[in-house]
Structures are given as C-alpha cells and as structure tokens.
Structure 1
Amino acid sequence: MFQECDKAFDKKNVEYFINLLQQDESISVRTRAVCILADIGNEAVIPVLSEILKNDKTSLVRHEAAFTLGQLGYVESVPALIDAMLSDSNNVVRHESAVALGSIGDQSARNALIDATNDNDTLVVHSAFSSLLNLDHLQLNLKIKSQRN
C-alpha cells in the first residue's frame, strides 16, 4: 500500500487519497490521507474534508481534517469549521477548528469565535481568543492599507 501511496502522491492523485479517506477503516491510513491532501489538495477537496470533519468516527482524523482545512485556507471551509468548533464532542477538534478559522482569517467567523470563548475547555477558549486577535490584526491591516491608497 505504501508504494501505491507514494505513486499517487507523486502524481498528485487527489482522487486516490479521497477514496482512502472514504473507504479505508484504518485510522492511520485515513489520517495520512488527510495530511497528504494538505500538500496536494485544492478547493475541490473542501466538501470531502468538511464531511470527514463532521462525521469521521475518530477524533484524530477529524482533528487532522480541521488542521488541513486551515492550511488550505479556503473561505468555503468556514461553515464546517464553525460547526466543528461549536459542536464537536472532542476538545482537540474544537481547538483545531478555532485555530483553523484564525488561519483562514474570514471575518464571518467572528461571532462563532466569540461564542467559543465560552467553551468549557481552556484550550478551546485560548484558541478562540487567539483567532479573534488574528481577525482583529487582519482587519486593522486592511484599514491601514486602504488609508494609504
């Protein structure tokens, strides 16, 4: 299987890794597939990763899906990340979703991040505050740039 994965990675065969995510039972294989999609994926993988974030039975795989969505940085990921941040049963998934929202930097996540500051887990609260600070920083930079022009 590892040789197949290497070949698929070299060919940037996104479909191969999507199929692994959707069909393989192994936690390590699904986690690896998500991580690889961070390297070779594009906007087309957002629906698949969003579905994995919402429905995978393993918190590690959901965590990696949140991380990957943040790394890819597409605004289309924001609704799935908000949902996971506010409702996932695992605190590490909620934390990573908050971090990913800060990385993407879309202001539409602001109210949800404010809501997450009331989470019962300190890690999630800190991540939400950090992401809010990032949104403030991005907004301030936009104001400064617009005033210069």
Structure 2
Amino acid sequence: MIPELQSQLNDQSLPLFHRYRAMFRLRDLGTKEAVLALATGLNDPHSALFRHEVAYVFGQLCSPYSVPALIECLRNTQEMAMVRHEAAEALGSIGAEEAESILLEFEKDNERIVRESCVVARDMWEFERSGEMEYAVIPA
C-alpha cells in the first residue's frame, strides 16, 4: 500500500486532488515507512506549494522520522522561502534534539520569512521539550 501511495504522491500526471489524497493517507498511516515515502514529496520538481504542503503535514504529524528530510529542506538555500519556512516550523513542532542547532543557524538566514520562522520554531521547540501543558497562556 505505501509504495502505491508514494507513487501517487509523486505522479505529476495525476490531478492534485489524487496526489493530496495520497499525502493525507500517508500522514494518517504515520509509520516510519509512510513518513519516508511522504518525504519524497519534498523533491517535487514543479510545485513549491506541494512541497510546502508536505512540510506542513510533517508539522502535523510530529514524527521524528521526518527530521532529516526537514533539515535538508531548511538547509537548501535554493528552495523557495515558503517551503523552508514550513520546514522550520515543522522542526519546531517535532522538538527533536538535533533541530535546535539548525534552527539557531538559520535565524541568520538571508530570507526574512525563514529567519522569523526559525525564531518562532525555536520557541516552539523549547516548549515541546519543556513538558509544559500550555504553549501560550494568556493571563486573564
């Protein structure tokens, strides 16, 4: 099932609806194999929006298996800023130890949206590792 979904995810001839359905099915499966298959969507050669959505799904999924692909995406300065921004935020949501240094590094990125996303993501990362129950408590 996962190889078939991966094939649909990456098939440029399919309507986007079918590709997104494969993306969400892989997300819902959530296994290591499904996450690794989903990561191949970050290599879509034609659609930055599609790559952005894959990174967004990784932020929802919070799987440590997506961390290497997200780090690679954030490090790729040839990638569109909106994709890198989403990769940064996903890394913050996951809270993996190895994400801290990359987020700190890219707080100095040339792209403002990437810099600011890394600041927010590092704050999210700190929260995820803190054991706190509420991310942002607003005093009454």
Normalising by structure 2, we get a TM-score of 0.78
Instruction: For residue 89 of structure 1, give the secondary structure of its aligned residue in structure 2.
Output: coil
- Please, which of 21, 24, 45 is the counterpart of residue 35 of structure 1? 24
Alpha-carbon separation, structure 2, partners of 1:82 and 1:47? 14
**Alignment-derived partner of residue 91 in structure 1:** 81
1:125 is the counterpart of 2:115: yes
Contact 2:106 2:118 in 1 (8 A): yes
Could you report, residue by residue, the CA deviation over 1:52-107 in whole angstroms, capped at 9, with x for unpaired residues? Answer: 21x21121111111111222211111111011012052011100000100111112
1:17–1:33 contact (8 Å) kept in structure 2: yes
TM-score, structure 1 normalization = 0.74
Q: Which residue in the other structure is 2:97 paired with?
A: 107
1:59 correspondence with 2:36:
no
Tell me what 2:10 maps to: 22
Unmatched runs of 5 consecutive residues or more in structure 1: 1-12, 143-149
Q: How far apart are residue 43 of structure 1 and its match? A: 2.6
The residue type paired with residue 112 of structure 2 is T
| Aligned counterpart in structure 1 of residue 65 of structure 2, from 76, 82, 87 | 76
The structure that has the greater radius of gyration is 1
**C-alpha deviations, 1:104-143, integer Å up to 9, x for none?**
111210111111111222221111111111222233338x
Query: Which structure: greater helix fraction?
Result: 1
Q: Secondary structure at the match of 2:89?
A: helix
* Distance (whole Å) between structure 2 residues aligned to residue 42 and residue 68 of structure 1: 14
CA-to-aligned-CA distance 1:11-51 (integer Å, 9 cap, x gap) = xx655432311334246132443234333443321211222
**Structure 2 residue matching 1:107: 3-state secondary structure:** coil
**Contact 1:70–1:104 (8 Å) recurs in 2:** yes
The number of aligned residues is 129
Structure 2 runs not aligned, ≥5 long = 133-140
Check the 8 A contact 1:99/1:127 in 2, yes or no. Answer: yes
Which stretch of structure 1 is more off in the superposition, 112-121 or 26-35? Answer: 26-35
- 1:50 maps to which of 28, 32, 39: 39
**Residue in 1 aligned with 2:138?**
none
Identical positions, percent: 33
